[in-house]
């Protein structure tokens, strides 16, 4: 039977997706940052929220890029969410532990109970594919109806590579089109089984 949530991803999983992750995952993070930079979306006062961030590897590379660029990041707002706060912090780069606001909990509960209408970028990377169909759909609809971020960035599994028995699921991301327009649509360099979208609110 397919497993989700804490049954699928216990605390020990964080070591594999944090700063000690394999090189491919670091390259995936860098690719996301490069795409944001290409569209001039990564700024020192950006308000960025990542759903299902684990130890916030993606947010680290965003912070690092700005720091290395000589920018003052005191106005940068980074928020990460995950099922396991302590485990995520343990495998997070120390330079951002005191910068990232961390929200622990189930993704749907977080989206319903922590509405933020002042976001520049709402990021979901390799996370929706691990959520049940109804849960992901409810989150997408809540983002559209209540959150309404300026930009949405997705890196998720393509439909043709979906594996429901070992759950990596594809969802109806096209429901975002209508309220949002496509800024970037590409396949991930690291694994072409995954797409990357950048969407801008109309």
pLDDT tens profile 117-153: 999 999 999 999 999 899 999 999 999 999 999 999 9
The whole-number pLDDT of residue 10 equals 60
Is pLDDT above 90 for 31? yes
Question: If pLDDT is split at 50, 70 and 90, which confidence band does 3 have?
Answer: low
Percentage of the residues of the chain whose pLDDT score is greater than 70: 94
Q: Using H for helix, E for strand and C for coil, what is the string for 51-89?
A: ECCCCCHHHHHHHHHHHHCCCCCCCCEEEEEECCHHHHH
Residue 175, token pair as written in the block = 């429901």
CA–CA gap between residue 139 and residue 69 (Å, rounded): 34
Is pLDDT above 70 for 51? yes
List the strands of the sheet with 194-201, edge to edge.
101-104, 77-82, 47-51, 121-125, 151-157, 194-201, 180-187
């Amino acid at each position: 039977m397919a497993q989700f949530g804490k049954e699928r991803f216990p605390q020990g999983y964080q070591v594999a997706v944090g700063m000690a992750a394999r090189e491919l995952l670091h390259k995936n993070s860098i690719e996301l940052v490069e795409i944001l930079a290409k569209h001039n979306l990564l700024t020192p006062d950006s308000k960025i929220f990542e759903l299902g961030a684990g130890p916030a590897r993606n947010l680290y590379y965003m912070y690092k890029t700005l720091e290395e660029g000589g920018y003052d990041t005191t106005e940068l707002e980074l928020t990460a969410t995950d099922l396991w706060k302590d485990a995520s912090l343990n495998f997070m780069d120390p330079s951002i532990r005191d910068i990232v606001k961390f929200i622990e909990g189930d993704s749907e509960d977080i989206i319903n109970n922590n509405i933020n209408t002042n976001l520049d970028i709402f990021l979901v990377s390799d996370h929706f594919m691990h959520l049940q169909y109804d849960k992901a759909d409810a989150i997408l609809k809540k983002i559209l109806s209540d959150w309404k971020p300026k930009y949405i960035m997705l890196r998720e599994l393509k439909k043709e590579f979906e594996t429901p028995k070992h759950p990596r699921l594809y969802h109806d991301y096209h429901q975002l089109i209508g309220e949002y327009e496509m800024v970037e649509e590409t396949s991930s360099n690291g694994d072409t089984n995954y797409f990357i979208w950048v969407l801008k609110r109309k």
